[in-house]
């Protein structure tokens, strides 16, 4: 059996639920030895479904089996702090989610734990972070989604908007936490100092949104209103045999869709229809009529032939039958005490240190004797690298970034934020398409510098090279010879067509880590399909479980992009750790649809264990009643009641008169009477302003949040306290607010980003001349021949000074 990239790394998990345990499982999959510590009652997730028919006592649910695979498990009473402390003394990492100050009140304060283990990394996940004015407020998945803008992005303004289904936020948060952990491990190795990794679920949710503050600022400069859910064209549509997702990102894709459905007259009206023009209803009706007689498979085949990102919208049964998934063997069976069940496999493939299944999730206390009788030896203080800077834990790392759009760009942005030298490489002939997203000629001749591209290309240098020409390829080869990492997320065929497949890259530099993030994988019948975040959410099962029970599936909104990027970071850091130990370079494949399915395991697990399809439940939850989104005089409020204590708190806040029915006295009664409760709550909340209700309920102990929009984010007191948004200037676009990362390091970077986004080709001379030694004549010849430059080939200045296509 091959050795995992993180073999020898020791992790203690003092966490329950999904998010933090998922972070630990990602580390375990890559070879870390993870010990899950539970109290005598066990992790409550064990008692949540789905359950196999052979488990009538509901001992261990399938979701627990998924997030706790590859771990050892022990039982230690929470009061036995000395025993826990002794275990942690031999660990590299502690993962906990007790909430703000939770370690301290248990006698496990970080400073005490580090007396015996100064290099200990302590990963701390909580709803709002360890500090701030709202740190101790109650919250649920629904209220966090509402506060971060996820809920407002799904639904109209007359009917209640709905949250993203499943536990998507938990899996996103777990991935960010894993990124923070591996970053802090790098810091501890070089400085000898362990760091707290203070991670906020609210900020994880914000970090997954598509830069609404920046986007709406750009739209305002263009004289357009804010982007809104009503602006989405196409997306999930009904067809003859189910649902299909048709997604357009470029003008050409839009024109091709119009031609395909017989609506050619709308080919030049994309912007007009997106903002709700008078012809939108007719266009939608034309599309629906065309799709009514079409099978999803046929629509996908037609659209993909035209390079339109169309996919089937899968549920938990159809996804495992799909040709792409079956050929890649992605879904696997896990053993449990109650038989086997099907679930997603690993979200990445590492050629030199592959992730492996070592063991199923532990039975409660299964490894207690094994671990406590022979505990890890205490860690010696780590050696210190002279001159190591905790502000730049990845200093000295050279990354060549061929990534595009959101997923590709964000991976390099994080590495650059942590000190790596990231060189963003584009061509003038085909610059990163994200430059033209949410931007336009109304912004001036350099409008390609203004859009959302800026949000995912901070902390980099910019180089242009035409890789279709020998001169450009030769220069890239020179750069590859001394690089540590090559990133790319083209469709599978592109990089190979350019001559830089893994075999060639490895010949140039055997020690390089090549990270490929194709949409559908490097092999399989869909390998050359096109797609982006929305399509990946539709095909991976996330859309099917999102939306109202009686409505169509809803697309979360591209949150798969940052999820893929952060999985790319985890895999990159793991592969570099493997190289540090003498393992050499390797190919890392991060298949985007498989990452999406990894974060949406419930539909497949549920169907595998019960034979039933998991459907949409809107804003409701099996663990809270009432739970929903309710109208106010000036918006919407999201609230949850998980137990009798919160129910009594709600009665105290809103008054018991209207809610005194005996049916409401127990959780079971409230679940049964949910429709009546929704009506009563809506009648009550509609009389008050959302700010008043949110403060009243939250301060009384009831999870509640305004359904926030982009205009609320910069005024959010918790985000402001934690300085989540940072300002950076830009040569063309000027200053703007940028989202940070959801992790704070007690030993590490004090700011989220090190530099603003460079303009196209800004560092051509610095890199090609200063580093590769080209002289002025050679640089001038490259520019004259279009190998390098600073203006996209398809754009030229008209006499009026506006950018036009040639």
Q: Is 14 exposed, middle or buried (0-12, 13-18, 19+ CB in 10 A)?
A: buried
Give pLDDT, residue 800: 39
Asked if residues 714 and 213 have their Cβ atoms less than 8 Å apart, the reply is: yes
- Short-list 334, 307, 536, CA closest to 433: 307
Give pLDDT, residue 273: 84
Q: Give the gyration radius of the chain's Cα atoms.
A: 26
Task: Output the CA–CA distances (angstroms, integers) from residue 371 to 47, 86, 707, in the order listed.
Answer: 24, 11, 46
Asked if residues 24 and 34 have their Cβ atoms less than 8 Å apart, the reply is: yes
Strands 235-239 and 196-200, by their bridges, are unpaired
Strands 421-426 and 635-640, by their bridges, are unpaired
Percent of the chain with pLDDT over 70: 97
Asked if residues 542 and 592 have their Cβ atoms less than 8 Å apart, the reply is: no
Burial 309-327 (b: 16+ CB within 10 A, else e): bbbbbbbbbbbbebebbee
List all residues 6 or more positions away from 36 whose beta carbon is below 8 Å from its beta carbon: 13, 21, 24, 43, 68, 71, 72, 73, 74, 362
Q: What pLDDT digit, counting tens, does each position of 520-557 carry? A: 999 999 999 999 899 999 999 999 999 999 999 999 98
Report all structural domains of the chain as residue ranges with CATH numbers, in order of start: 10-206+364-383 (3.40.50.10540), 398-522+560-598+763-805 (3.40.50.10540), 624-713 (3.30.1540.10)
d(C-alpha 470, C-alpha 368), whole Å: 61
Global pTM reads 0.97
Give pLDDT, residue 799: 42
DSSP structure string for 601-665:
-HHHHHHHHHS------TT-BTTBSSEEEEEETTEEEEEE--SHHHHHHHHHHH-SGGG--GGGS
- 126 in the Ramachandran plot: left (φ > 0), alpha (ψ -120 to 50) or beta? beta
Give pLDDT, residue 538: 98
The residue written with tokens 């939306």 in the block is 547
Query: What ranges in 348-449 are assigned the alpha helix state H?
Result: 368-373, 405-417
Burial 94-125 (b: 16+ CB within 10 A, else e): bbbbbbbeebeeeebebeebbeebebbbbbbb
Asked if residues 432 and 409 have their Cβ atoms less than 8 Å apart, the reply is: yes
Q: Which residue stretches of the chain have pLDDT < 70? A: 1, 155-158, 227-232, 275, 337-338, 796-806
Give pLDDT, residue 228: 58
- Short-list 383, 382, 419, CA closest to 398: 419
Give pLDDT, residue 477: 99
Residue 735 CA, chain-centre distance (Å), reads: 26
d(C-alpha 267, C-alpha 253), whole Å: 10
Dihedral sign, CA of 379, 385, 387, 389? negative
Angle CA(617)–CA(621)–CA(623) in degrees, nearest 5? Answer: 160
Asked if residues 181 and 93 have their Cβ atoms less than 8 Å apart, the reply is: yes
List all residues 6 or more positions away from 784 whose beta carbon is below 8 Å from its beta carbon: none
Give pLDDT, residue 249: 80
SS3 of 204, please? Answer: helix
């Amino acid at each position: 059996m091959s050795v995992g990239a993180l073999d020898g790394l020791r992790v203690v998990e003092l966490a329950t639920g999904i998010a933090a345990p998922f972070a630990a499982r990602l580390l375990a999959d890559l070879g870390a030895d993870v010990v899950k510590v539970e109290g005598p009652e066990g992790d409550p997730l064990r008692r949540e479904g789905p359950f196999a028919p052979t488990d009538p006592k509901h001992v261990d649910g399938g979701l627990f089996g998924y997030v706790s695979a590859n771990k050892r498990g022990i039982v230690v009473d929470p009061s036995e702090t000395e025993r826990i402390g002794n275990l942690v003394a031999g660990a590299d990492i502690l993962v906990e989610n007790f909430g703000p100050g939770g370690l301290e009140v248990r006698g496990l304060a970080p400073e005490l734990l580090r007396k015996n283990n100064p290099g200990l990394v302590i990963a701390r996940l909580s709803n709002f972070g360890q500090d701030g004015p709202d740190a101790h407020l109650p919250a649920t998945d629904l209220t966090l989604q509402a506060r971060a803008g996820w809920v407002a992005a799904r639904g109209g303004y007359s009917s209640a908007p709905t949250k993203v289904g499943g536990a998507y936020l938990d899996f996103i948060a777990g991935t960010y936490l894993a990124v923070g952990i591996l970053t802090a491990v790098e810091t501890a190795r070089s400085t000898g100092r362990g760091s707290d990794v203070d991670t906020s679920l609210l900020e994880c949710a914000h970090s997954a949104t598509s830069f609404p503050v920046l986007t709406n600022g750009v739209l305002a400069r263009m004289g357009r209103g804010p982007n809104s859910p009503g602006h989405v064209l196409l997306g999930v549509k009904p067809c003859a045999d189910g649902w299909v997702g048709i997604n357009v990102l470029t003008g050409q894709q839009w024109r091709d869709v119009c031609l395909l459905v017989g609506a050619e007259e709308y080919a030049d009206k994309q912007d007009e229809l997106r903002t709700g023009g008078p012809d939108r209803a007719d266009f939608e009706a034309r599309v629906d009529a065309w799709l009514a007689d079409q099978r999803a498979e046929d629509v996908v085949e037609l659209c993909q032939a035209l390079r339109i990102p169309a996919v089937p919208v899968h549920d938990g049964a159809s996804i495992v039958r799909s040709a792409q998934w079956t050929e890649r063997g992605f879904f696997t069976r896990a053993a449990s005490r109650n038989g086997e069940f099907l679930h997603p496999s690993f979200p990445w493939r590492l050629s030199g240190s592959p992730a492996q299944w070592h063991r199923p999730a532990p039975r409660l206390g299964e490894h207690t004797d094994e671990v406590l009788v022979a505990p890890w030896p205490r860690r010696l203080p780590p050696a210190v690298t002279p001159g190591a800077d905790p502000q730049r834990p990845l200093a000295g790392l050279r990354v060549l970034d061929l990534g595009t759009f959101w997923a590709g760009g964000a991976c390099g942005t994080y590495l650059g934020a942590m000190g790596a030298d990231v060189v963003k490489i584009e061509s003038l002939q085909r610059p990163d398409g994200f430059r033209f997203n949410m931007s336009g000629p109304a912004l001036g001749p350099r409008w390609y510098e203004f859009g959302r591209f800026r949000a995912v290309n901070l902390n980099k240098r910019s180089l242009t090279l035409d890789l279709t020409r020998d001169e450009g390829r030769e220069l890239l080869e020179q750069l590859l010879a001394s690089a540590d990492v090559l990133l790319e997320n083209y469709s599978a065929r592109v990089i190979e067509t350019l001559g830089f497949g893994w075999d060639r890259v490895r010949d140039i530099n055997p020690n390089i880590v090549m990270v490929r993030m194709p949409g559908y994988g490097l092999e399989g019948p869909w390998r050359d399909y096109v797609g982006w975040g929305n399509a990946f959410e539709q095909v991976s099962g996330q859309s099917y479980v999102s939306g109202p029970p009686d409505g169509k599936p809803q697309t979360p909104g591209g949150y798969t992009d940052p999820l893929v990027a952060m999985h790319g970071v985890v895999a990159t850091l793991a592969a570099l750790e493997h190289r540090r130990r003498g393992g050499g370079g390797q190919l890392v494949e991060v298949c985007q649809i498989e990452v999406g399915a990894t974060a949406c395991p419930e539909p497949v697990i549920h169907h595998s264990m019960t034979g039933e399809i998991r459907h949409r439940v809107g804003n409701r939850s099996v663990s809270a009643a009432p739970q929903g989104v309710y109208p106010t005089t000036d918006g919407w409020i999201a609230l949850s009641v998980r137990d009798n204590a919160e129910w009594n708190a709600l009665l105290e806040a809103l008054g018991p008169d209207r809610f005194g029915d005996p049916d409401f006295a127990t959780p079971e009664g409230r679940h049964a009477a949910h429709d009546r409760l929704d009506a009563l709550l809506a009648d009550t909340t509609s009389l008050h302003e959302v700010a008043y209700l949110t403060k009243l309920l939250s301060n009384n102990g009831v999870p509640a949040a305004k359904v926030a929009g982009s205009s609320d984010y910069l005024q959010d007191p918790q985000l402001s306290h934690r300085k989540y948004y940072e300002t950076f200037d830009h040569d063309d676009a000027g200053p703007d607010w940028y989202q940070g990362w959801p992790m704070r390091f007690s030993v590490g970077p004090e700011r989220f980003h090190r530099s603003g986004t460079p303009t196209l080709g800004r560092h051509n001379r610095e890199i090609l001349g200063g580093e590769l030694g080209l002289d002025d004549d050679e640089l001038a010849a490259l520019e004259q021949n279009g190998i390098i430059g600073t203006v996209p080939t398809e754009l030229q200045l008209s006499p009026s000074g506006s950018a036009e296509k040639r």
